Amino acid sequence: MDFHIVWVYRHLILQGFLVTVEISAMTIVTSTIVGLIAGLLKTSKHKWLISPIIAYVEIFRGSPVLIQLFMVYFGLPYLGVSISMFNAVLLVFTLYSGAYIAEIVRAGIESISNGQREAAMTIGLTYSQMMRKIILPQALRVILPPLFGWYISLLKDTSIASVIGYTEMVFQGQNVINMTDRPFEVYLTVAALYFIISYPLSKFVDWMERRRAYA
Amino acid sequence: MIELSNIVKSFGKQTILHNVSLSVKKGEVVVIIGPSGAGKSTLLRCINKLEDIDSGEIVIDGERLTRDKKQIRKLRAEVGMVFQQFNLFPHLTARDNIALGPTYTLKQGKANIDKIVDDILFKVGLLEKKMSYPGQLSGGQQQRIAIARALAMQPKAMLFDEPTSALDPELVGEVLNVMRDLAKDGMTMVCVTHEMKFAREVADRVIVMVDGRILEEGTPETIFTNPREERTQSFLRSILQKN
Ligand SMILES: Nc1ncnc2c1ncn2[C@@H]1O[C@H](COP(=O)(O)OP(=O)(O)OP(=O)(O)O)[C@@H](O)[C@H]1O
Ligand SMILES: [Mg+2]
């Protein structure tokens, strides 16, 4: 094993690492917003809104994100819609992750007993006051551990964007391999860099779950 | 104060309330008794619109209820409800449980709310538990806070759905005492309860519900010592055996 070669190309790998962190952070923010809204709508009483949300969630959870990426990046131009690579990646990962987060949010909200809703109604709270003051604060304790668990998956899933040529960490790793022919060392380095972010996150999830168990 | 006429309520194909009519005067205390599944909870829940009725009319303090959301919210602010399972908000202190309604529904200022909270906590004898969370309180204390939460809305009437049946026997008394005080203060009350001693002391009228209908009604004296209906007699026997 010769990690010296990795050190020589450290700038490329670091560049990829930063892109991975950037796209992950951005999709975490955007898909959390999408997922929160979709999850809230799914638990609302507006029947006409629920069906399209269910369709959205099932479609994006029921197909490989790779295919979603191909359809948006390679497929849309055939329909006359041109989209940059960055926008395609951001859009697809936002919708894909938003669908999973919607389910996490829905399950969290539904875990709060109906008695809480009714008690909120009997003191005259509006739906949005009830959600903000009673349901969401309690649901959040249920939602946060799986949500952060999902963020870890999302971080790793963004590596799929390398397939369409997005210059995140795996793509840059492959570049380095092409130049050096040292796949093992390079992939190990890349894996270690994913681990550096995901391990603290997963410890954080453990901590949240332990705290919830005692509370 | 509360006028129900010909209330019909079904869940799916099952009719739970058959043409129930009931009138409660201002300051009156009505106790509803009856076997499990008779529709007592459903009736209370219809009064403050936790359930929609199929037909019939509900008039609260001269105002006929519609499906208007604003009106329903206003009505709920005027009619307090106490549940068997307390349903306190576990993530809020006793103070915040009580203050929520006055803050958001009655839109009171902070100074006013502090006074409301203190007065009511004093009334239910839990001033020292102001900053406790529901999980730190006994069942009886939780139910008293739940009553306080409803009272903080300064309601015109209070509905109680078996407020003591989830409590250990030794904690029942403290909740009934609070309800007794309320009745003395002239609160209009509809209570579903099987606490016969309480009903005898406090109720102006006892209503016997069976199978979604009002079977008979009368003063506690009449119902408990001289019930007309055979079903009332057998129900009272079954309660006495349990106690
Ligand atoms: N949300 C609901 N959906 C379907 N059926 C219901 C619902 N709520 C109540 N019921 C049915 O309505 C009937 C009356 O219920 P209700 O809770 O009003 O009775 P109750 O007199 O309060 O009984 P208990 O003494 O056990 O509390 C029961 O047969 C019950 O199964
Ligand atoms: Mg009941």
Report yes or no: A46 and A109 within 8 Å, Cβ to Cβ.
Answer: no
Crossing angle (nearest 10°) for helices B139-151 and A114-122: 40
Mean pLDDT value of segment B149-171: 95
Q: What is the dihedral of CA A46, B44, A115, B239, to 10 degrees?
A: -150
Task: Provide the pLDDT confidence category of residue B240 given band limits of 50, 70 and 90.
Answer: confident
Does residue B185 sit in helix, strand or coil?
A: coil
Task: Please give the average per-residue pLDDT across B11-31, as a whole number.
Answer: 95
Q: Is the pLDDT of residue B22 over 70?
A: yes
d(Cα A47, Cα A148) in Å, to the nearest integer? 30
Could you count the other beta carbons within 10 Å of the beta carbon of residue A77?
Answer: 12
Supply A91's token pair: 């859009």
Residue B191's closest CA among B96, B80, B98?
B80
Q: Do A116 and B85 touch (CB under 8 A)?
A: no
Q: Is residue A208 over pLDDT 90?
A: no
Q: Given CB atoms, is B50 within the 8 Å cutoff of chain A? A: yes
Averaged pLDDT, B72-91? 93
pLDDT digits (tens, 9 = 90+) for A73-103: 999 999 999 999 999 999 999 999 999 999 9
Mean pLDDT of B170-190: 95
Q: Is the pLDDT of residue A211 over 90?
A: no
* Ligand 2 centroid, distance to B40 Cα (angstroms): 6
Cα A111 to Cα A7, A41, A114, B172: the distances in Å are 50, 16, 9, 30
Where would I find the H helices in chain B? 40-47, 69-78, 94-104, 110-123, 139-151, 169-184, 196-202, 220-225, 230-242
Strands B188-192 and B14-24: unpaired
The Cβ-side half-sphere exposure at A193, using a 13 Å CA radius, reads: 23
Closest atom of ligand 1 to B209 CA is 21
B194 in contact with ligand 1, CB cutoff 6 A: no
> Does position B89 have pLDDT exceeding 70, yes or no?
yes
Rounded average pLDDT over A31-43: 96
Domains of chain A: 4-214 (1.10.3720.10)
Question: By mean pLDDT, which of A47-51, A153-157, B217-221 is the weakest?
Answer: A47-51
Nearest CA to CA, how far is A4 from chain B (Å)?
55
pTM: 0.87
B:77-136 residues touching chain A, CB 8 A cutoff: 77, 79-81, 83, 85, 87-91, 100-101, 104-105
Neighboring chain A residues of B50 at a CB cutoff of 8 Å: 118, 121-122
Confidence of residue A213 (pLDDT cuts 50, 70, 90): low
**Is the predicted pLDDT of residue B243 greater than 70, yes or no?**
no
CB A123 within 8 A of CB B153: yes
pLDDT above 70: percentage of residues in chain B: 100
Copy the structure tokens of residue A45. Answer: 């009483």
Residue A20 has pLDDT above 80, yes or no: yes
On the question of pLDDT at B61 being above 60, the answer is yes
Q: Which residues of B touch A113 (CB under 8 A)?
A: 87
Tokens of B102: 């006055």
The reply to whether ligand 1 has any atom less than 6 angstroms from the CB of B36 is yes
* Between residues B242 and A164, the one the model is more confident about: A164
How far apart CA A206 and CA B225 sit, in angstroms, is 62
Higher pLDDT, A210 or B122: B122
Residue A140: is its pLDDT beyond 80?
yes
The answer to whether residues B124 and B141 touch, using CB atoms and an 8 Å cutoff, is: no
Strand B63-64 with B14-24, pairing: unpaired
Report how far apart, in Å, the C-alpha atoms of B224 and of each of A44, B33, B203 are: 46, 11, 12
pLDDT on residue B191: 97
What is the C-alpha to C-alpha distance for residues B182 and B2, in angstroms, rounded to an integer? 18
pLDDT at position A215 is 55
Q: At what angle do helices A169-180 and A10-42 cross, to 10 degrees?
A: 150
Across A191-195, average pLDDT: 96
- pLDDT tier at A154, thresholds 50, 70, 90: very high
Of the pLDDT bands very low, low, confident and very high (cuts 50, 70, 90), residue B120 is very high
Token pair of A66, please? 């790779």
pLDDT value of residue A214: 57
Nearest one of B50, B46, B70 to B58, comparing CA atoms: B46
Rounded to an integer, what distance in angstroms lies between the CA atom of residue B234 and that of residue B207?
15
The per-residue pLDDT for A116 is 97
pLDDT at B69: 86
Nearest 10 degrees: CA dihedral of B88, B89, B94, B99? Answer: -110
**Residue type (1 letter), B118:** D
Say if CB B167 and CB B143 are below 8 A apart. yes
**What distance in Å separates residue B77's CA from the closest CA in chain A?**
5
Instruction: Measure in Å the smallest separation between the Cα of A67 and chain B Cα atoms.
Output: 43
Could you tell me which of A170, A173, A183, A175 has the C-alpha nearest to residue A2? A183
- Lowest mean per-residue pLDDT among A205-214, B10-19, B26-35: A205-214
Chains A–B, number of C-beta pairs less than 8 Å apart: 57
Confidence of residue A124 (pLDDT cuts 50, 70, 90): very high
